[in-house]
Chain A
């Protein structure tokens, strides 16, 4: 039986650096998590390939292959947006939430490949995404309601202000930690299962646990991408709804 650190050391096939990348820009000290950064770039390249292959030689009458997948995702999310808010307002939101879904989905899936890890298993990534949603809520709220958007903090009574503030602040935090927890937990359990069931135990059936967990992680990765997208749509639609 190996400890988690030992398993992670063994899985470090690509020699991920253990220290941060440090740089100074305009007198501000910046440090980056190298593993997350590189995995994000890989995911971006894969997404770009997917997008290009899906939109190259598009067929109006008989979509097939990647075009079909992209159309399915796009139309599914468009239906969600249109159900939740005025389609005219939703048109601006649509491309953002579709990008959320595709990026998170590919990020979650890439972590299931041995020796790689999900960008979303780093809370920096999930907070970056959830803060984007947080900013979107305000952009959409102010754009469609003006300064009147801030009135909802005092409803139904003025002394509800702290509760409303907590409610608003809890949105990005819950979004980020839900995604981070699910994906990071999944990756930890993959490593733990590999560490627990070593040698002959693994060969004589221990791998089944890993396989089952990987299959479940595919499901979880999809569901989490969907939930993040769905909740972003719900939060923004709440902000632009007329009778708030």
Chain B
């Protein structure tokens, strides 16, 4: 049969002593350490999440910057192309104008030369007519009649020529 004695009480006391000892020596610092570690891990996770969020934000910002820069570049290129086209049109226009001016001046020159030639020819034709008339008619006329005749002749000749 079981024989309980005071060992039982002593063991209860032993257990309580051990419990109090461990509670102060081991469990208190251990609980503190474990909660510290938990807090550390939580902080690390939070920091990592925050950093990831910031990185995402930064990425988005950079992407939008890039998109804007691309759009601007496209704009600039388009503007430049348009300006070049305008310039080309202007140059062609100028060239056309220049050509027209040159042509006009050339035409005026030609006209002038023509007029000059006509005038010379008139003079020469008058002289020739005087010579021819003098020779053919061989008649002496005064200068006044002669001059009148010449003029008549020249006029006719001029009408014929022109």
Residues of A within 8 A of B (CB): 20, 30-33, 36-37, 40-41, 44, 47-48, 51-52, 54-55, 58, 60-61, 70-71, 74-75, 94-96, 98-99, 102-103, 119, 122-125, 127-129, 131-132
Contacts and interface: CB of A to CB of B under 8 A. Distances in A.
14 contacts: A30-B5, A30-B9, A32-B7, A36-B7, A36-B11, A48-B21, A54-B30, A74-B27, A95-B23, A99-B22, A124-B4, A124-B7, A124-B11, A132-B12
Contacts of A54: 26, 30
A73 to B, nearest CB: 10
A47 B18 contact: yes
Contacts, number: 102
Interface in B27-45: 27, 29-30, 33-34, 36-37, 40
Contacts of B8: 124-125, 127-128, 131
Contacts of A60: 33, 36-37, 40
Give the top 7 A-B pairs by smallest Cβ distance, nearest first.
Answer: A128-B11, A30-B6, A124-B7, A51-B26, A124-B8, A128-B12, A99-B19
A51 B21 CA distance: 9
A124 B7 CA distance: 6
B25 A52 contact: yes
A128 B8 CA distance: 5
B27 A98 contact: yes
A125 B40 CA distance: 41
Contacts of A31: 5-7
Nearest to A47: B18
A129 B33 CA distance: 29
Given A125-B11, A128-B12, A47 B36 contact: no
Contact of B30 (A48, A71, A99, A124): A71
B7 A122 contact: yes
B10 interface: yes
Contacts of A52: 25-26
